[in-house]
Structure 1
C-alpha cells in the first residue's frame, strides 16, 4: 500500500478553505439523489459551515502540529465501554493542553461546562470542545425506533423526533448527535435494521433529509439545535449473512443506486458531519476507502463538513489486516478522508512523526483541522462555548410526550384484521396476556439516557386507561375465560436488536408461539400485538390469529399509542418499510430485487425451472409497503402528464407529473399511503423489478376522493452505471409506472423516453 499524496486529490486545501467549486447541479449526476431534484444541491454552507473561513485560516496558522492533531482526536467520557475504555482523565489533561477536539458520551450541563472551561480558559488557544452523543430516537423523550418511524411513511414523524431530541440534548451540553443512521439493508437478521429505515433507498433518503432538518433546523448555533451525522458511510447494511461488522462486497452500480442516495439526500439537507462505517467495502475497510470518503463524498459531492471515524474504527484497520501498526492505521485513515478519530489515538500518537517523514501532508492535516473547526464555528461554540445551566430540560414535557404518542400511533402497521376484530368496541371485557403485556421493555435499541430514567407506558396501562372506568380489563392467562377479547402482547426485547444483535432465527423467542396457540385454542377472538425491532417470521401462527398489529418498539408513550389504535381513536395507516419473510431460508427477500433469466411467474405454477426454493413460497409473508386500515381504499390508474419525453430534456432538468386518484370506499375516516413505483424493462444494466419513486400519506373521510401528484425527473428515470468514476445515465425506452397501496401495486401507465 502506497502512501498516496496525503491530500484531497483533485481539490487543494486552499479551495477547501475558500469554499471554491461549483455547486452540484440538479441534472444527470447532480440529480441522482433520491430527493435532490428540486434545484442545486444544498451544501453545508447553507447552515453556516463556510461562514468563518478567514478565522479558521488564521487560527490554523497559530497552531502547533500537536494542537492540530489534537483537534482530530475524540475521547470517551466516564461510562464508555469497549476499546479504549474510560478516558475521562486523559480528556481533561488533553483539553488543558489544547490537544483535544471532541468528547463523546458526556451528559449533563454541569459536566460539559466544567470540561469546556478547561479547554476554553486553560489551553493556549482556547478552542472549544465538540461534545457528541448517540441521540438516535430521543434524549429524554424516547420516540419509536427509526424502523418504526419509517413505517409511518410520514417524514414529519422523523423531523419532529429530531427537533424534540435536539432541544433536550443541546440543553445538556450535547452539540452533535451520531444520527440519522441511513443504512439501507435487505437483511432482517442484521440487528441494526432497527436503527435503519429498512430496505428502500428512496424512503430512507426522504427520512434522512427530514431527520437532518429536525436536528439542525436553519441555524446550528441556536440553543435548541445539534449537528447531525450521516452514518454509516457506506454500505454497512449489506453485511454478509446479516452478521454485524461483516464483509460487504458490492458493484459500483449497486453502491451508487442502492446505498449512496440517502447520504446524498442528507447532505443536500445540510447535514454537517458524516461517520465512516465498520465494514469493508469490496476488500477495502470503509475507514481506509479514499474512493468513497474523498472521491465521492468530498470531491464529487463537495462536502465541506467533518468525517468522523466510528468507535475505534481507525484502530480496527489492524485486525482487518489492512494496517501493520497504529502509525500506519492513522496514516491510511487520514489520507483516505477521515478527519476525526473516535476513541483510538493513532493520529495523535503518531501524526507528528508521520508528518515529518512525509507520510501525511500538511495540506491534508490542515484540511481535516479546518473541517473540525468549521463545525465548531457553525455551532456557535466560539461565541458561546457554555450551555445555560438554568435552562436545562429535566423531564419530557407534555408536548414532547404528545408528539411521541402521535408518532408511535402513526408508526403502527395493521397486518391482519379478519372479521372486524379491531377496533375494540366500548364495553368489551378484555384480557391482556403475554410477556410484554405489562413490560417496560418497549424503548428499543439506543434509547438514550431517557430509556432508563423515564420508563415507558406499558400496553396494559394504556389499555386500562383507554377502556375507561367501569370497563373490565384483566391481566394474565388465567383471566381469559372471563374475557370477550384477548390481547396477546409478544415480541423481542430491546437487547435482541440493535448493534451486535444479529439473529439467525427470526421467530418469536421463548415459548411465545405456544402462548398464541393456547389462546387460539380458547376459541375466543384475539389480537396479537408485536413489539420488535426487525421483521419477524410469523407464518407458524399467523393463520390462527384473527388480528395482528405491528407496533415495533414504540418508545415512551408506546402503551398509550397502541391503545389508541386498538380502540379506534387512531385508525392505523402505517406501511411496512421492509418485507417480512416467510422463513429465514428465503433471505434476502426484498421487493426491489432484479429479475433473473428465469424469473418467478405466479401465472405459471407448473414451471419448476425458475429461481426460488422447493420448500417455501417465493414471495414474502408481507411485502414492502403493505398495511391495512379500519376502512378501505381504492387507488386508481396512474396517469402521466406526458406520453413521451426526451432523455436530453430530462438531463437538462425537465420533469413530468404523474397523477394517481384515491378514494375512501369504507365507513370511517382513515389514512392511505399512495405509492408510486417505476420499472425500466430494458436497460444496459439489469434494473430492479420495482423502485419506489414517490409516496404520500393522505387522510380521507368517508367517500372522499383525492388526486395525488408526483413529479418525476432524471433522478427517477436514470441510474448509475458500473463506471468507477460515477456515470449517471438516462436511457431511451419505455418506462412503466405502477401505483397502489404496496410494492405489489398493479395499476400502471407508461412513458416513452426518447
Structure 2
C-alpha cells in the first residue's frame, strides 16, 4: 500500500468497521523513518491549531472529567490520550469516539504498570534484590502481556530515580541507590515492556521516569527541591534514565521537583540540551500529574498562561491531567508568544509515539474486538502465578540466621503473629495496578498451605501497624485504608504472647503498611512503626525462637530488632504469590539468594546512607575514630551494607587473579576468583566487582559497582568467575564534565557484598 492510500485509509471518512477490518486483515504501515515522517507531516497539514493542541492533552479517567465529557472531548479532537482505564469496553468506546473525530487520529491508553498488571510482582526494590536480569525480564514481559490484554498501550515505568534517602516514600518504586545496578535494570525493564517491537499486540511503550533526579529530594520529602552539582548529576543520577533511552524507551515522564531552582517541567536545559541534543532522544515527553500548573507554586510562573508558555517552550509534549495547554495555548499562539513551530514540535512527537505503538495501523491493536473480551476480566486464568512465585522468592533477602534457625521444619506448632500476617492488600505493595487483594496470597495463608496438616498454626494480630493518630488520619486519605483494631494495644500483645507460648517457633510478620511506602508518604523516622516494637520485645521474652519477617518499602533502622531476632527476613512487598514465595524460603524449599539494593542504616541520623560515597580528608576509621568523619553515639558503618544477603549455605571467595596488572587504553583486563559453596546445600549467590580510582583529578567514590554475576553452586562445588574490564569501565566525569579515564592506580575488589571483598590493584597507563 502506498503512503497516500494509507493516509486516506487512516484519516479519511472511515468508520469503526473499517478500523476493525484493518485490524483483522493485518494492513501494516511502512516501517522506515522516512515513511513515518512523511505520514505525520501530511497528517499535520490537515490539522487545525485546536486539533493539534488537543493531541497534547493526556486526561485521567476519574472524577476530574466524567466519562460522557471525555467521549465528547475525544470526538471533538481535544484529547490525545487517557490514563487509568483498563476496562476494554470503556477503552473501545473512547477509541470509537476518536474514529468519529474529523481526522480520526487514534487514542492511546496509559497506566502505571510498575511491577505487574493483574499479576502483581514484588515492588521494584524487591525486583532489584534479585540481581537477576532474567527474572526482571520475565516481570516486564508478563506485565506488558497482561497490560496489553487490558487495552493499555503505554506504561509510566520503569521508575529509575537513584534513591539514597530511605525517608522518601517512593523508594519502594525504584531500584535502589547504585547507578550501575539501576542502569542495568532500567535497560532490561524497558526492553521487556517494549518487546521486539512496540507495534506488537503484546508490547507496550515504556515511559521512563522521573526525569530527573527525583530521588534526591532534600530531606527525603516528596516533591521537594534538588540542589546538585553538574558532576554528581552526570556521574550518579542521570545514567539510569540514559540507559532506558539507549534501550529504546519511547517516552520520558518529567519529574515534579526543581533542579538548582529550575522546575523540571520548565527546564529547557534538561529537556532539550541534555535529553534531545546530548542523548539524541526522539520520543515523547510527558508532564507528571498537574505539573504545568504547579509552576505557579514553584514561583517561576505568575499565572496559568505563563505556566503553559514555559512548559511548551521547555519541551513538554504531553500535558498530563492539566488544562493549561487546552486553555492557554490557542491565545499564546495567536499573540505570538508561542510559535506554531513549537506546538508542531510537540504534536509531531505525540503522533510519532502513536505510530510507534502501532495505533495508526490498527487503533484496536490492544483493545481487540468485543467478541473476544473476557467474560470475567478478573478471571484466575488471566494471572501468571508461577512466574510471580518464582520472581518473588528470588526477591527475599536473608538478613540474619543465628544458629540456623531457618529453614523451619514443617512440624510441631508455629505461631504466626503480626499486623501484616494476614494482610493480602499490603502484600501487593504500592502501585499494584489492576491487582486484587482477594487474588493475593498473604503470609499466613502461604505458611498454612506449605505445612498442610503436618504442623499446627496459631495466630494473633499482636498490634496495630501504628498507633500514631496523625499518621493514620493522613494515610487513610489515600485509596488504601489502615485497619485499626479498637482493642487496647496491651491486650493484643498479651494475646500474642499466649499464642507464642504454645508454639515451638514464632514467625512475626511486621513492618509498614503499603501506603506508608508510597507517593506523598515520606517518614521522619525509619523504625518499625507503632507498638510493633513492643510486640517484638514481648515475643522475645517468651524464650521461643523468633523469626522476624519484614514487609516494607524502604530500608528500616533495625538495630534493636537485629539483636532480638534469631532470624530476620526482608521480604519487601512480594505481590500476588507473596505468601507462597515467603513460605518457600522459610521452610527451605527455596534457598534465599537476594541481595540488598539499598544500604540499611543503623538509625535515621545516618541518612542519606549509601556505600559509594566520596572519601574525606579525615575518613572514618573504626579503630581510630577521633577527629574523623563519624557519629560518636554508634558505629558509622551501616547495619546491613549494599549488596548484602545471606544464604542457607556458605560461600568462599578466593584471592583475585588478574590477567595483567598494567593496562593500556586498548587492553582488556580479566579479573578472576574461585567461588566455592562450602556449606551443606545448593545455593545461589551474587559475585560483585567494585573499583576505586585511587588518585584522580576529582575525589572519587571509595568503591563503585562495575559488574556482577549470579552463580548457582551445589554443595562443595567450586567455580571460576571472571570479569572483563576495559578503559570504558574506568571513565568518569571530571571537573570539566569530560567523560574520560585517567592514568594511575586502581583498586579492584570482588566479594559477596560491598564490604566483604577481596582486593588487589592494577594501573592504567
What TM-score does the superposition give when structure 1 sets the normalisation length?
0.89
Given candidates 615, 629, 632, the residue that maps to 2:647 is 629
1:613 Cα offset (Å)? 1.4
1:50–1:520 CA distance, 2 compared to 1 (3 A): farther
Written as runs of structure 1 = structure 2, the 5 A alignment for 1:481-560 is 481-560=501-580
Written as runs of structure 1 = structure 2, the 5 A alignment for 1:589-604 is 589-602=609-622, 604=623
1:642–1:354 CA distance, 2 compared to 1 (3 A): farther
The match for 1:743 is: 754
SS in 2 for 1:193: helix
Tell me how far apart the structure 1 counterparts of residues 236 and 568 of structure 2 sit (CA, whole Å). Answer: 31
Tell me how far apart the structure 2 counterparts of residues 660 and 95 of structure 1 sit (CA, whole Å). Answer: 61
Given candidates 65, 69, 78, the residue that maps to 1:86 is 65
Is the 8 Å Cα contact of residues 427 and 471 (structure 1) preserved in structure 2? yes
The match for 1:447 is: 432
How far does the alpha carbon of each residue in 1:582-630 deviate from its partner, in whole angstroms, 9 at most, with x for none?
111111121011011110012x33x410112121210111010000000
Written as runs of structure 1 = structure 2, the 5 A alignment for 1:38-77 is 52-77=36-61
Given candidates 70, 82, 91, the residue that maps to 1:112 is 91
**Does residue 1:250 correspond to 2:261, yes or no?**
no
SS in 1 for 2:427: coil
How far does the alpha carbon of each residue in 1:547-575 deviate from its partner, in whole angstroms, 9 at most, with x for none?
00000011111110000000000000001
How far does the alpha carbon of each residue in 1:153-178 deviate from its partner, in whole angstroms, 9 at most, with x for none?
11222221111111111112110010
1:50–1:343 CA distance, 2 compared to 1 (3 A): farther
Tell me how far apart the structure 2 counterparts of residues 78 and 317 of structure 1 sit (CA, whole Å). Answer: 23
Tell me how far apart the structure 2 counterparts of residues 450 and 215 of structure 1 sit (CA, whole Å). Answer: 18
1:655 Cα offset (Å)? 4.2
The match for 1:753 is: 764
SS in 2 for 1:543: helix
Gaps of 5+ in 2: 1-28, 461-495
1:714–1:394 CA distance, 2 compared to 1 (3 A): farther
SS in 2 for 1:676: strand
How far does the alpha carbon of each residue in 1:254-312 deviate from its partner, in whole angstroms, 9 at most, with x for none?
11111111111111111110000000001110111111111111111111100100001
SS in 1 for 2:564: coil
| RMSD across aligned positions (CA) | 1.8
SS in 2 for 1:483: coil
Is the 8 Å Cα contact of residues 736 and 748 (structure 1) preserved in structure 2? yes
Given candidates 475, 485, 497, the residue that maps to 2:459 is 475
Is the 8 Å Cα contact of residues 46 and 270 (structure 1) preserved in structure 2? no
SS in 2 for 1:315: coil
Written as runs of structure 1 = structure 2, the 5 A alignment for 1:130-209 is 130-209=108-187
SS in 2 for 1:228: strand
Given candidates 663, 675, 684, the residue that maps to 2:688 is 675
1:46 Cα offset (Å)? 14
Tell me how far apart the structure 2 counterparts of residues 572 and 110 of structure 1 sit (CA, whole Å). Answer: 43
Tell me how far apart the structure 1 counterparts of residues 237 and 31 of structure 2 sit (CA, whole Å). Answer: 25
1:479 Cα offset (Å)? 2.5
Given candidates 264, 283, 293, the residue that maps to 1:305 is 283
Is the 8 Å Cα contact of residues 119 and 383 (structure 2) preserved in structure 1? no
The match for 1:644 is: 662
Tell me how far apart the structure 1 counterparts of residues 30 and 755 of structure 2 sit (CA, whole Å). Answer: 40
1:655–1:47 CA distance, 2 compared to 1 (3 A): farther
SS in 1 for 2:393: helix
Tell me how far apart the structure 1 counterparts of residues 719 and 337 of structure 2 sit (CA, whole Å). Answer: 63
How far does the alpha carbon of each residue in 1:387-436 deviate from its partner, in whole angstroms, 9 at most, with x for none?
12415564354871111111110000000001011001232421111111
The match for 2:410 is: 426
**Does residue 1:358 correspond to 2:336, yes or no?**
yes
SS in 2 for 1:693: strand
1:640 Cα offset (Å)? 3.2
Is the 8 Å Cα contact of residues 163 and 171 (structure 2) preserved in structure 1? yes
The match for 1:236 is: 214
Is the 8 Å Cα contact of residues 118 and 382 (structure 2) preserved in structure 1? no
1:547–1:577 CA distance, 2 compared to 1 (3 A): same
Structure with the greater relative contact order (CA < 8 A, sep ≥ 6): 1 or 2? 1
1:646–1:361 CA distance, 2 compared to 1 (3 A): farther
1:710 Cα offset (Å)? 2.3
Is the 8 Å Cα contact of residues 49 and 375 (structure 1) preserved in structure 2? no
Is the 8 Å Cα contact of residues 159 and 209 (structure 2) preserved in structure 1? yes
Tell me how far apart the structure 2 counterparts of residues 458 and 299 of structure 1 sit (CA, whole Å). Answer: 48
How far does the alpha carbon of each residue in 1:512-556 deviate from its partner, in whole angstroms, 9 at most, with x for none?
111111111111112110011110011122112110000001111
Given candidates 688, 699, 709, the residue that maps to 2:712 is 699
1:49 Cα offset (Å)? 7.3
SS in 2 for 1:249: coil
Is the 8 Å Cα contact of residues 178 and 231 (structure 1) preserved in structure 2? yes
1:430–1:89 CA distance, 2 compared to 1 (3 A): same
The match for 1:576 is: 596
Tell me how far apart the structure 1 counterparts of residues 33 and 447 of structure 2 sit (CA, whole Å). Answer: 48
Is the 8 Å Cα contact of residues 738 and 749 (structure 1) preserved in structure 2? yes
**Does residue 1:708 correspond to 2:721, yes or no?**
yes
Tell me how far apart the structure 2 counterparts of residues 637 and 736 of structure 1 sit (CA, whole Å). Answer: 14
**Mean alpha-carbon deviation: is it higher for 303-312 or for 695-704?**
695-704
Tell me how far apart the structure 1 counterparts of residues 601 and 32 of structure 2 sit (CA, whole Å). Answer: 45
Aligned length: 694
Is the 8 Å Cα contact of residues 697 and 735 (structure 2) preserved in structure 1? no
What TM-score does the superposition give when structure 2 sets the normalisation length?
0.88
Tell me how far apart the structure 2 counterparts of residues 191 and 552 of structure 1 sit (CA, whole Å). Answer: 13
1:61–1:398 CA distance, 2 compared to 1 (3 A): closer
**Mean alpha-carbon deviation: is it higher for 708-717 or for 176-185?**
708-717
**Does residue 1:733 correspond to 2:717, yes or no?**
no
The match for 2:358 is: 380
